[in-house]
Structures are given as C-alpha cells and as structure tokens.
C-alpha cells in the first residue's frame, strides 16, 4: 500500500492506494463515528457495498443511500434525496458520510456533506480511475441544466481510500475516461510521465503496478497544485486543461452520452491546437491524436454547431467578463491561462470540429 498526505487550509488528509483496501475501510479512519451514511450508486452497490460495510464493527449505526449510476444523478433531486436520507437516519454533526463510487458519487456525497448541518466529515472510497482526479482536492459539486458543477463547495475529505482492485471491473469507456485525466496530469507537469502514459494500451488489462504508478503520479501532480492554490485563484486553474471545451461538449451532448474524460480528451486536443496557434510552438497533437484513436476514444462526434458550444464556454465558471479563459501549454509541463478573443476561439473551433468530423 502507498500513501501520500495532502495539506489544506482546514485539514490534512491521507490518500491510500493499494489492493483490497475496501475490506479495511474502517481501519483508515482517525476518529470514532457512531453514525455513518454510505452514499453509492446502484452499480457499485452490487459489487462493493457489503465489503465496505463489513469492515465496520456491529456497534456502529451504518446506513446507505443508493442513487442511479451516471452523471445525471449529480442533480438537484439526488442532492436533496441524500440530504433527506441523512436526516431520516439521524446523522448529527459528529457523523460521517462515505462516498463509495466514481466521481459522480464523490461529488454528490461530498457536496451533501459540505452543506448538511453546515458541513460534516466525509471520506472518499473511489471505484473509478477518473476519481483519482476528483477525489483529491476537495472540489465537490452538482450540475445545473445550464452547466456542469455550477453548484458546489471547496470541502476536503478526511481521507481517500483507493482500492485498485475495484478498477479492473470498469467498462472500457470508463477506463478511457479516467486515463484522459492521467494524460492531462502528464501534459501539464512532465513530458516523461506523459509519454509513459501514451505507452499504455487500455484495451488489455493494465498491470496493477502500472495502474498504481500512474494513479500515484497523477494524484501527486494534482495534490501539489491544490496545496499551492486550494481555492483556484491561480495555478489550480491549470487542472482545467482540456476542460473548457470538454465541459461544453458534455453539456451539449447531454450528460452521459459521452464520458467526462472522453470529452476532456477532445478538449485537450483542441487546447493543444490553440496553444500551437497562440504561442507558435509545436506540441504533441499528433501523438495524442493517434493514441486516442488507437484506444477507441470517440472523436467522430455528430456534427457540432459552434455557437452553442461557445455560449456554454462563456458560462464556464472560469470565464471572466464574458471572455472565455483557456488553459494552454507553452510546452509539455508548462501550462498557462489565457483569455481567448471570440474571433480566434470561433475560427479555431470551427476548423477543429470540421477536421474531427472528416477525419
């Protein structure tokens, strides 16, 4: 088992990565909790809910709430559903919420924890590769029909307990989704790490040691940035590389039609292209494109109109005075943030989308 410690302005928490950790969930907690509510989804519940439950002594009051799997559960309705369940089972301020699942569950349960009685403890037990990104850093949120993560908090967990064994049962599109964020962590930090990731073939079973290595490196990139800028005033924005167009695509296609990481993958290609244009540099657009094609990322989207996407991007939380802000790269490992004029944005996006469709 590996671990690393993350410092925030309000607490310090450990991230544990290893095999079969879910069977020992209780042993990682630093406090005694008498009442615990496990939030999970209907797919994860079938596989792992009992494993986590059985790690606790029978004296503890353990409850669960199961939401439908999929991004569409990051909704107003499911948020109030979780809160109502917490009230129903009698959670008090000394209680714990456990987020058992992928990024959706972590965001939903974390946001519920951050606002239930003005904030109670929660831990993350991620069951997806994508959640290596979302479970660390304390950003929790639900979606609005007008955009992703528009309602949320900065609220760090008390611990992250990552059982690598749960990742082997992921469907291939979820592996692709998670690996897009690992690629991102490579691109914004370290050329060697980036190329190591491009050496990985996602369709065959990724060896445990490779997976553990990639997760830890990815978490480390994220943790380092988050420690320097918890509230996203500055360098934390770099983590949004690929996300400006990614979020717009996801929202426009309808959540669940394309995974988060698959949308971010297309967004990263676009960001590389805009970076090359703005800085006049050569970046690994083609190697990334090839890897995405080899690993069956969906690049042949239904023809996209530009205007709805641009409007979505302007509603992004990072937009300033109606100008889209994008994370660009001057080189691999050297991210920057730029406001992009509408004209440049539209012409590049138009050309990019047409190329993807015709490729």
Q: What is residue 230's DSSP assignment?
A: T
- b/e code 55-77 from CB counts within 10 Å (16+ = b): bbeeeeebbbbbbebebebbbee
Strand partners, 338: 326
Q: Binding a second copy by CB under 8 A: which of 16, 23, 154, 285?
A: 154
Answer for the pair 354, 297: CB distance below 8 angstroms, yes or no: no
Task: Return the number of the residue (76 or 290) whose C-beta is nearest a second copy.
Answer: 76
Q: Is 148 marked as binding a ligand?
A: yes
Instruction: Give whichever of 114 and 127 is closer to a second copy, judged by the CB atom.
Output: 114
Piece of 24-32, 111-119, 208-216, 240-248 that binds a second copy (CB under 8 A): 111-119
* Strand duo 139-144 + 147-154: pairing: antiparallel
DSSP-assigned letter for residue 323: B
Q: Please report where in the chains the tokens 């592996």 appear, as a residue.
A: 175
Interactions with a second copy, residue window 218-277 (CB under 8 A)? 231-232
C-alpha span between 42 and 291 (Å, rounded):
32
Residue from 24, 47, 277, 318 touching a second copy (CB under 8 A): that is 318
Write the binding mask 127 to 146 for a second copy: x where contact by CB under 8 A, - elsewhere: ------------x-x--x-x
Q: What are the DSSP E strand ranges found in 278-320?
A: none
Alpha-carbon separation of residue 19 from 125, 209, 218, 321 (angstroms) = 13, 10, 18, 47
90 touches a second copy by CB under 8 A: yes
Q: Interacting stretch for a second copy, rule CB under 8 A, among 84-92, 181-189, 301-309, 346-354? A: 84-92
Member of 11, 27, 84, 296 binding a second copy (CB under 8 A): 84
| Contact status: 85 vs a second copy (CB under 8 A) | no
Q: Which residues bind a second copy (CB under 8 A)?
A: 34, 76, 80, 83-84, 87-88, 90, 92-94, 111, 114-119, 139, 141, 144, 146-147, 149-154, 231-232, 314-315, 317-322
Known binding positions for NAD(+): 127-128, 139, 148
């Amino acid at each position: 088992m590996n671990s690393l410690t993350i410092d925030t302005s309000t607490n310090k928490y450990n991230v544990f990565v290893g095999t079969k950790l879910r069977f020992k969930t209780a042993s990682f907690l630093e406090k005694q909790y008498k009442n615990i509510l496990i939030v999970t989804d209907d797919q994860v519940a079938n596989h792992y809910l009992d494993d986590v439950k059985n790690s606790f002594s029978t004296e503890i009051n353990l409850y669960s709430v199961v939401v439908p799997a999929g991004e569409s559960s990051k909704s107003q309705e499911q948020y109030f559903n979780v809160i109502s369940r917490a009230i129903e089972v009698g959670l008090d301020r000394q209680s714990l919420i456990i987020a058992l699942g992928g990024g959706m569950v972590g965001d939903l349960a974390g946001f519920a924890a951050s606002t239930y009685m003005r904030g109670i403890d929660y831990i993350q037990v991620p069951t997806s590769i994508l959640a290596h990104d979302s479970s660390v850093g304390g950003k929790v949120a639900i979606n609005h029909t007008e955009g992703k993560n528009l309602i949320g908090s900065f609220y760090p967990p008390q611990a992250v307990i990552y059982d690598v064994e749960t990742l082997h049962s992921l469907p291939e599109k979820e592996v692709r989704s998670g690996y897009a964020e690992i690629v991102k962590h490579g691109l914004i930090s370290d050329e060697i790490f980036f190329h190591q990731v491009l050496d990985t073939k996602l369709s065959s079973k990724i060896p445990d040691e490779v997976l553990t290595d990639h997760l830890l490196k990815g978490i480390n990139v994220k943790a380092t940035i988050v420690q320097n800028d918890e509230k996203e005033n500055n360098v934390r924005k770099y983590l949004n590389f690929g996300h400006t167009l990614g979020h717009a695509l996801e929202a426009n296609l309808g959540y669940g039609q394309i995974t988060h990481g698959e949308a971010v993958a297309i967004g990263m290609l676009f960001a590389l292209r805009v970076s090359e244009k703005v800085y006049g540099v050569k970046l690994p657009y083609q190697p990334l494109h090839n890897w995405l094609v080899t690993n069956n990322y969906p690049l042949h989207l239904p023809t996209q109109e530009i205007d709805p996407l641009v409007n979505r991007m302007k509603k992004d939380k990072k937009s300033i005075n109606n100008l889209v802000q994008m994370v660009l790269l001057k080189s691999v490992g050297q991210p920057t943030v730029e406001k992009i004029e509408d004209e440049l944005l539209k012409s590049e996006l138009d050309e990019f989308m047409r190329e993807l469709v015709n490729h």
